[in-house]
Amino acid sequence: MIRLGVPSKGRLMQDCFDWFGARGVMMKRTGSDREYSGVVEGVEGVVPVLLSAGEIPRELAAGRIHLGVTGSDLVREQLGEDEVAEVAKLGFGHADLVIAVPAVWIDVETVDDLDAAAAGFRKAHGHRLRIATKYHRLVRDFLQSQGVADYQLVDSQGATEGTVKNGTAEAIADITSSGETLRANHLRILSDGLIHSSQAALWASRVAEWSSADLAAYAGLAAKLGVAARPF
Amino acid sequence: MTSKAAVRAEGERLLAAFVAAGAVPVEADILQPAGTLLDLYGEDIRARAYVTDDPVRGEMMLRPDFTVPVVQAHMAHGAEPARYAYLGEVFRKQARGSEGTSEYLQVGYEVFDRSSPEEADAEVFALFRDLLVGLGLRPVTGDIGILMAAVRGLETTERRKAALLRHVWRPVRFKALLDRFSGRAPVPAGRMALLQRLKAGSPIALIEDAGTFVGLRTADEIAARAEALVADAGTPPIKATEAALLYDLLSLEAPAAHALSHLRGITPMLPAIGPAVDRFAARLDALVAKGVDVAALAFEASHGRTALEYYDGFVFSFVKDGMPPVASGGRYDALTAVLGAGAFIPAVGGVIQPGLVAQLKGASA
């Protein structure tokens, strides 16, 4: 049986069910509203596993699910190419991971400016310029590839846009779709500060055990979805 | 697979050789305060080192190398001159799919000596060469001091030189800056728009117009950098001839003796590198005295630029294709000043990975 991890609630669940439904794979929740179980119709050998979207990367990495639907931001942050393969981009759940600085930093427009501002900031304040984020790996890899120095990442698991006003960070790196919340918190996105353009995707675990029956079931699912007949 | 016991025995052999060369054996804590290392190496080190939390001491790091604790101990209570040796585990996260191990023995030798830095450079290099003989390794050398001297000697503003020097260890950003300062790369569109806006009003007025003030970075700091940007926009580019020499220097790869004559050749056009080239020449003499064939010794001007950012002079490594460097080291005078709270002493040293040595010996046995 292929275990397919899907988001258990909200907009992401509905979009996900719609995407599969449009391809003849009907998914629905069963039981009461509060019970996390579901069924898949229209294809053999696939069982849905309803999970919080945030837990799907971990379950893929552990091989407890064969397939999973979750945002590419979470997967790229937490997993490596040797753990999962992208099967298909699903075209919803769009959000950008960006770097934003106070709008009053009129001298900072690009990553290059941020780097220079960080040097000055460290000299003036005696500590490295703090960037609040929960995407440590993606942000660090991005800044390292751009050769930015004199910054530090501070962990922020929520309300990241408020950290600058609250004095716990000088800048932030966070997910935004419209930029509305950033503006409301007096922040501005760097013109070249797009770290990752995220959307929901279907992932295959390279860690899970794929029996020949699983691979056969996958081929049936893949035919409906219009993707390659093997998961990776 | 080489056994841990064989690796340990190899480490002990190398440590004994360092001690025989006059070094005092020293120990260092495995748990190091993360703050010191992060302030030195920046956030990038988190991708390489293990960080853990202590409820009392705060963020701690599993020792990624010995250099920092050894320098700290020397600066705190070392007599001069001093030679130290150490053997112990270091911990480095490895990239996915890499075959490197994340916990391995490192054996090192560090020299703190004011009398003759070039002699000390040659001493360390020759000692390593002798200990690694017969393993089929290729030595590669470099000199970050020449690069830094060339930047300091550029005919441009102090601000531009400081920006370049700050990024000597980050070749991508260094090149981007040099391209821009020399007019090879256009000013980025975002910067042009910024300059246009700055022309339209005073920085303070623009800051006020930009909305609610948030953050620790003060309006004065913002205004000062804005003014510096305007001033920089009016700075003429680094002369093409000068920039060409610097690009040439960055890509210089030749046998050391040949590199020296090349550097002598360009010194009249870049006089600021003269003293650094003299030191390079003195080092080659010292190496020759130790029996090193400098006509064959590989020299790469950019060698060591992507290593942890503290080497600022002679750098070397002993390499074999398909393996991480078996040994590496260099001079780190500036690091002693940073860690020494005002005190400073010239320092040079290096490390060997006994695991790789044992592996090579096993393969050839």
Q: Is residue A232 in a domain? A: no
Q: State how many domains chain A has.
A: 2
- Same structural domain for residues A204 and A169? no
**Tokens at residue A145, please?**
């590839």
Q: What's this model's pTM, rounded to 2 decimal places? A: 0.88
Per residue of chain A (232 residues), give pLDDT as tens.
999 999 998 899 999 999 999 999 999 888 776 667 788 999 999 999 999 989 999 999 999 999 999 999 999 999 988 899 999 999 999 999 999 999 999 999 999 999 999 999 999 999 999 999 999 999 999 999 998 999 999 999 989 999 999 999 999 999 998 889 999 999 999 999 999 999 999 999 999 999 999 999 999 999 999 999 999 9
Closest residue in B to A124 (Cα–Cα): B221
Interface contacts A/B by beta carbons within 8 Å: 126
Say yes or no to pLDDT of B77 above 90. no
Q: Is residue A90 in a domain? A: yes
pLDDT at B41: 86
Q: Is residue A17 in a domain? A: yes
- Same structural domain for residues A105 and A138? yes
- Same structural domain for residues A81 and A102? no
- B195-213 residues labelled b (16+ CB within 10 A) or e (exposed): bebbeeeebeebbeebeeb
CATH number at residue A152: 3.40.190.10
CB-based contact A105 B46, cutoff 8 Å: no
Under the banding of pLDDT at 50, 70 and 90, the label for residue B364 is: low
Q: Which residues of chain A does B47 touch, with a Cβ-Cβ cutoff of 8 Å?
A: 137, 140-141, 144
Mean pLDDT of chain B: 92
**Range with lowest mean pLDDT among A166-175, B92-101, B201-210:** B92-101
Under the banding of pLDDT at 50, 70 and 90, the label for residue B308 is: low
Q: Is residue A33 in a domain? A: yes
Q: Which residues of chain B does A124 touch, with a Cβ-Cβ cutoff of 8 Å?
A: 217-218, 221
Mean pLDDT of B19-36: 95
- Same structural domain for residues A13 and A50? yes
Please tell me which of the candidates A115, A153, A186 has its beta carbon nearest to residue B173.
A115
Mean pLDDT of B207-225: 94
> Cβ(B107)–Cβ(B14) under 8 Å?
yes
Q: Which residues of chain A does B38 touch, with a Cβ-Cβ cutoff of 8 Å?
A: 128, 152
Please tell me which of the candidates A80, A148, A191 has its beta carbon nearest to residue B96.
A80
- B315-346 residues labelled b (16+ CB within 10 A) or e (exposed): bbbbbeeeebbbbbbbbbbbbbebbeeeeebb
Q: Which tens digits make up the pLDDT trace of B312-361?
A: 899 999 999 989 899 999 999 988 888 887 788 999 999 999 999 999 99
A 10 A CB-CB count for A30 gives 11
Q: Is residue A230 in a domain? A: no
- Same structural domain for residues A204 and A89? yes
> Cβ(A217)–Cβ(A44) under 8 Å?
yes
Q: What is the distance in angstroms between the Cα of A224 and the nearest Cα belonging to chain B?
A: 33
CB-based contact B211 A109, cutoff 8 Å: no
Q: Which tens digits make up the pLDDT trace of B266-303?
A: 999 999 999 999 999 999 999 999 999 999 999 999 99
User: Looking at the complex, does the CB of residue B320 fall below 8 Å from at least one CB of chain A?
Assistant: no
pLDDT at B313: 93
Please tell me which of the candidates B38, B167, B193 has its beta carbon nearest to residue A152.
B38
CB-based contact B226 A128, cutoff 8 Å: no
Say yes or no to pLDDT of B365 above 60. no
Percentage of chain B lying above the pLDDT 90 cut: 74
- Same structural domain for residues A215 and A151? no
User: Looking at the complex, does the CB of residue B8 fall below 8 Å from at least one CB of chain A?
Assistant: no
Rg (CA), chain A: 21
Closest residue in A to B164 (Cα–Cα): A116
Domain interval for residue A52: 2-94+199-225
pLDDT at B40: 87
